[in-house]
Structure 1
Amino acid sequence: MSTILVSSDALAPQALELLKEYALVFTGKNPQEEHIVALCREHNPVAMIVRYGKIGAAAMDAAPAMKVLSKHGSGTDNIDKAAAKERGIDVVAAAGANAAAVAEQALALLMACAKSVSRVDARMHAGHWDKAGHMSVELDGLTVGVVGLGAIGQRFARMAHGLGMRVLGFDPYAQSLPDYITTTDMPNLLREADVISLHCPLTDENRHMLNDATLATCKPGVIVVNTARGGLIDEAALLAAVQSGQVMGAGLDSFAVEPMQPGHPFQGQPGIVLSPHIGAVTNGAYVNMGVFAARNALASLARRAVTA
C-alpha cells in the first residue's frame, strides 16, 4: 500500500474516506522541517497533503516516489515550488475551498476596525460607558480596494458591495469579473481607497507591497485588512502609520513570522485588531479544504499513472 504523508495531526473524515486506499502518516501540528524530511525518508510517500510546515528540496529528495504536493488550503508559499518543478512534482492548491470562511474573517476585521469593537468591548467590560465620546466609521458609500480577485477576493468584494461600498480591484490575472468591481492599477487603488483588503498570494514581486512609501500615498485614515500573507506588509511601516494616524485601523490575520511571539510591537497597540491566522479555521472550510486536497492529490496521482 502506497503512503501519503499529511503535514498535520488530522484530516476531515470525508477526506480520510477518499484516501482509504492509501496508508496515511501524520506529522502532527507545526512540524519542523527536519521531522518532515525524516518521515519522507522513512515512508517514501507518493504524495503529501500539506497543511503545516515548510516543504523544501530536502523533503522532496528524501521521497523519490513523491508525485504531488497537495495544499490543504489556497496558499502554497510554504512549498518550494521551484524545487518541486525541478523534480517533476506537481503542486496543487485547494483553490476556493476556504473562500467563504476567509472572506467572512476579512469582513469581521474590517467591521472591528471601523466600529472600534475591541476598544469599546474592553471599556464596557471595565465598567465604562463611552457613548458620549464615541464616533465610528460608516462604510456605506466608502471605497474599498481589493488586492487579489481570486475566489476569496471576489467573495469579499461581493460582501462589501452589499454594504453599499464602491469596489476597486487590482489583479493582473483576473478575468470575467462582476460589474460592481472596477479594476484599476495599484497606485490608483492606494490613492482612492478608504479601505484596503489584501487577498493575493505572496510572491517575490509583491513582498512588502504595503510599506513606508506606498502607505504614504494612501488617504489619511485608511483602514488596512490582511487575511492573506503577512509578508505582503512591512510591519514596521504599518506600525508607524497606525501610530501617526495615517492608517486609522489595521485588522490582521497573518503575520511575517508565525506564531507571533510575545513582545511583538503590534501587541497592545491601539488601532490594530489581531487574530491568529484563523480565517480558514471554520467547520465548513476544514471539510472543504481536506476534501479538495484529497481529490487534487488523487487526480494528480491518477494522471501520472496514466502517463507513466
Structure 2
Amino acid sequence: MTAPRHKILVTGADLAVQALRVLQDYDVIYAGALPTEQQLIALVKAHDPIGIIVRYGRITRRVIEHARSLKVISKHGSGIDTIDVVAAKDNGVVVRAAAGANAAAVAEHALALLLACAKSISRLNARMHDGHWDKANHKNIELRSKTIGLIGLGSIGRKMAAMCRAMELNVIAYDPFVTQEDNLALVPLEQIWSDADFISLHCPLTDDNRNLISMNTLAACRQGVILINTARGGLVDEAALLAAVRSGQVFAAGLDSFAKEPPDKNHAFFGEPQIILSPHIGGVTGQAYIDMGVAAAENLLRSLVDSGIHERKEATA
C-alpha cells in the first residue's frame, strides 16, 4: 500500500509551475486569495500540512498551534512580519524567507516611484488628459547630484543603491546590521534626516522601528524631502506623513505598502495629488513570481531534509 503523501498549504490561489515541480512529491493545497485566520485554521485542521508557503494572510499563533504536523513555514518573499515567529519557535517550527528573490523587482519599483514623484508624472498625466499644457509653468526635480538616504541595506537596498549611483545620485545609507559597504557611505540615522533629499525605506518592520517615519523624524528632514516606501507600511506614521505632505515639509511620497492592507476605502491618502500609491506590488513581476516561488519551495524542502522527513534526491538516485 502506498503511503499517503504529505501536504503543503499555500496561502494564496496559485504557485509558479517551476515551484510546483520542486514540490512534486507533495500534495499542494491552496488557501485562495487573502485568506482569513479562521479559513487558515480550518484548512490546517482539515489537511494537517507538514509545511506552509506564505503568500498572503497572517500565520498567527492560533494557526500554528492547530497545525499538528507542521515543520516549516516558508515565506514567498523576504519579509516575515506576517508570521508569528515566536509562536513558530515555541512549537518547533522552522521559519524561512526567500531573501533576495524579488530584490531587483522591488528596487526597480522604488526607483519608479521616486522618479514619478520627482517628475510629477501622475499630476502631469492627469492634466494632459484634461487638455492642459503646463510646460510654461512647471519644473521637475533633477535627481543627478542629489542625495538619497537608504534605510536598510539588504538585497533590495543594495540593488537600489547600485541603480541610484548609476544615475549619479549621492547615496548614503543606514543599517544597524551592516558595518562596512563598498563604495557606499554608512551614516547614523540622524544624518539620513538631515542630509537626504530623498529617503527610501528597505528595512524589515520590527517592534523597534515601527512608526520610524514620524512627526519628529519628518520635522528633522530637509524641507521638500521625497519619501519612498516599498518595505512595510508599519514603518510610517500615516497621519504624520499626510500632515507633512500637506504642509510642504514633504514634497511627495511614493508608497507601495500600508499599515492596513488593503487600506480602507476612505483612507486619507486617497485623492492626495502629492502621494503616489500602488497596491504592494513592487515585487510582483513575472520573473519575481517564479523566483520567489522556487526559492520558497526549495527552502521548505531543505528544512524538511534537515528534519529527516524528506530524503535528498542524490541519496535515492
TM-score, normalised by the number of residues in structure 2: 0.95
Letter in 1 for 2:24: K
1:86 maps to 2:90:
yes
Match for residue 250 of structure 1 among 253, 258, 261: 253
Distance 1:175 1:96, change over 3 A: farther
1:23 maps to 2:27:
yes
Distance in 1 (alpha carbons) for counterparts of 2:180 and 2:71: 33
Distance in 2 (alpha carbons) for counterparts of 1:306 and 1:44: 15
Q: Which residue of 1 aligns with 2:39?
A: 35
CA RMSD of aligned residues (A): 1.1
Q: Which residue of 2 aligns with 1:58?
A: 62
Residue 140 of structure 2 aligns to a residue in which SS? coil
Letter in 1 for 2:118: A
Distance in 2 (alpha carbons) for counterparts of 1:56 and 1:266: 29
The aligned runs of 1:143-182 (5 Å cut-off) are 143-174=147-178, 177-179=181-183, 181-182=184-185
Distance in 2 (alpha carbons) for counterparts of 1:65 and 1:306: 11
Deviation (angstroms), 1:177: 2.1
Distance in 2 (alpha carbons) for counterparts of 1:164 and 1:68: 43
When structure 1 is superposed on structure 2, of 256-265 and 5-14 the one drifting more is: 256-265
Matched residues, number: 306
What percent of counterpart residues are identical? 53
Residue 201 of structure 1 aligns to a residue in which SS? coil
1:300 maps to 2:300:
no
Q: Which residue of 2 aligns with 1:270?
A: 273
Match for residue 190 of structure 1 among 189, 193, 204: 193
Distance in 2 (alpha carbons) for counterparts of 1:301 and 1:86: 18
Distance 1:97 1:108, change over 3 A: same
Residue 296 of structure 1 aligns to a residue in which SS? helix
Q: Which residue of 1 aligns with 2:313?
A: none
Match for residue 107 of structure 1 among 85, 108, 111: 111
Q: 2:256·2:281 contact (CA, 8 Å) conserved in 1?
A: yes
Letter in 2 for 1:151: S
Residue 118 of structure 1 aligns to a residue in which SS? helix
Deviation (angstroms), 1:306: 7.2
Distance in 1 (alpha carbons) for counterparts of 2:122 and 2:187: 33
Deviation (angstroms), 1:178: 2.5
Residue 82 of structure 1 aligns to a residue in which SS? helix
Distance in 2 (alpha carbons) for counterparts of 1:17 and 1:275: 32
Letter in 1 for 2:251: M
Distance in 2 (alpha carbons) for counterparts of 1:67 and 1:220: 50
Q: Which residue of 1 aligns with 2:289?
A: 286
Distance 1:306 1:278, change over 3 A: closer
Match for residue 199 of structure 1 among 199, 202, 209: 202
Q: 2:7·2:27 contact (CA, 8 Å) conserved in 1?
A: yes
Q: Deviations over 1:222-266 (max 9, x none)?
A: 000000000000000000000000000100000001112211110
Letter in 2 for 1:60: I
> Mind listing any 5+ residue stretches in structure 1 that lack a counterpart?
none
TM-score, normalised by the number of residues in structure 1: 0.98
Deviation (angstroms), 1:48: 0.3
Letter in 2 for 1:303: D
Residue 70 of structure 1 aligns to a residue in which SS? strand
